[in-house]
Amino acid sequence: MLLSSCAAAAQITVLRDAAFTALGMVIDTPPSALVYCEHERYLSLIESNPAVACVLTSAALADRIPGEMGVAVTATPRRAFYELHEHLARQTDFYGVTHPSAIAPTAEIHSSASIAVTNIRIGPGAIIEPHVTLLGRVEIGEGSVVRAGSTLGSSGFEFKRLGGRIVSVTHAGGVRLGAGVELQANCAVSRSIFGGFTALGDETKLDNLVHVAHGTSIGRRCLIAANAMIAGSVVIGNDVWIGPSSAISNQVHIGDGASISIGAVVTRDVAAGERVTGNFAVPHERFLAHLRSMR
């Protein structure tokens, strides 16, 4: 889509036209994305990010946007960005076309499950237990199990203060489960915001009452114990253990084979194979050494 084609909807002035295929944040950017920039401290991130195709910004910053990127200006870039997102989500097929839901003949669906009539795909041998709710765009892979009371594809917690109001941001993406995934009872997985999917890789297992927020990507064969809370845009590698009642802050990256101890509060990236413990979480041996020093 060209910037010029949506100028009227977002009330922006295009200075340098260019095409984009996605919307995103400066620090969490899909390829060929439109982002917004309200402060000069983000200019270095934009300059170094090859995924950025177009920028909504102020007139004062427009000349500092790299020449290969499209530029549009407005007095309120952040507000214009979300207004454009709402327009694209509600009035266009920018984030994907609607299709009838498709359920494989060998899938087992309980009669009390609530499944949207559009944009749901359930693969062969999948099991959907009582009182499961599937909303938005949800894809469930072969042999995956969604146990009683879980909800997939609901809107996440994304509200913005715009123009003196608190505005709920439309979630235009979906949820994708790989093959052999299992969600135990009363899990909640929110769909992503700017298209794409909140994704769980093959053979990953979630215990009861796990929350996975919008845009998170979880790798293969992960084990996530009860009451864990994983915030938005988290990236988790393969073979990760996340202990009961752990909390993972937004945009954290957790490497392959990492281990998050029971009750840990993770606010920084965790390296592959690293084990972290505590609030705020630190390397496990360092945490034990600190405990010994206090005793």
Task: Dump the DSSP string for the chain.
Answer: -BGGGGHHHHT-EEEE--B-SEE-BTTB--TTEEEEE-SGGGHHHHHT-TTEEEEEE-TTTGGGS-TTSEEEE-S-HHHHHHHHHHHHHHHSSTT----B-EE-TT-EE-TT-EE-SBSEEE-TT-EE-TT-EE-SEEEE-TT-EE-TT-EEEE--S-EEEETTEEEEPP---EEEE-TT-EE-TT-EEEPPSSSSEEEE-TT-EE-TT-EE-TT-EE-TT-EE-TT-EE-TT-EE-SS-EE-TT-EE-TT-EE-TT-EE-TT-EE-S-B-TT-EEETBTTEEHHHHHHHHHHH-
pLDDT at position 280 is 78
**pLDDT tens by residue, 32-56:** 999 999 999 999 999 999 999 999 9
**pLDDT tens by residue, 191-248:** 999 999 999 999 999 999 999 999 999 999 999 999 999 999 999 999 999 999 999 9
What's the CA gap between 210 and 185, in Å, rounded? 9
**pLDDT tens by residue, 242-289:** 999 999 999 999 999 999 999 999 999 999 999 999 987 888 888 878
DSSP β-bridge partners for residue 145: 127, 182
Residue with tokens 């009872």: 185
Q: Which pair of structure tokens corresponds to residue 194?
A: 């700017």
Residue with tokens 């599937």: 134
Whether 2 shows a pLDDT value over 90: the answer reads yes
pLDDT at position 286 is 82
**Residue positions annotated with a catalytic role:** 214
Mean pLDDT of 105-111: 98
The type of residue at 39 is H
Residue 137 near residue 175, CB atoms below 8 Å: yes
Q: What is the mean pLDDT of the chain?
A: 95
Residue with tokens 């402060």: 39
Whether 101 shows a pLDDT value over 80: the answer reads yes
pLDDT at position 27 is 82
- How many other C-beta atoms can be found within 10 angstroms of the C-beta atom of residue 251? 16
Residue 174 near residue 136, CB atoms below 8 Å: yes
- How many other C-beta atoms can be found within 10 angstroms of the C-beta atom of residue 100? 8
Assign 159 a pLDDT band (cuts: 50, 70, 90): very high
Whether 291 shows a pLDDT value over 80: the answer reads no
pLDDT at position 219 is 98
pLDDT at position 105 is 98
Range 47-53, long-range pairs (CB < 8 A, 24+ positions): 51/24, 52/26, 53/18, 53/19, 53/20, 53/21
Whether this model's pTM surpasses 0.95: no
Task: Give how far Cα 249 sits from Cα of 97, 118, 252, Å.
Answer: 32, 32, 6
pLDDT at position 290 is 75
pLDDT at position 163 is 83
Report which of 235, 211, 236 is spatially closest to residue 151, judged by C-alpha positions. Answer: 211
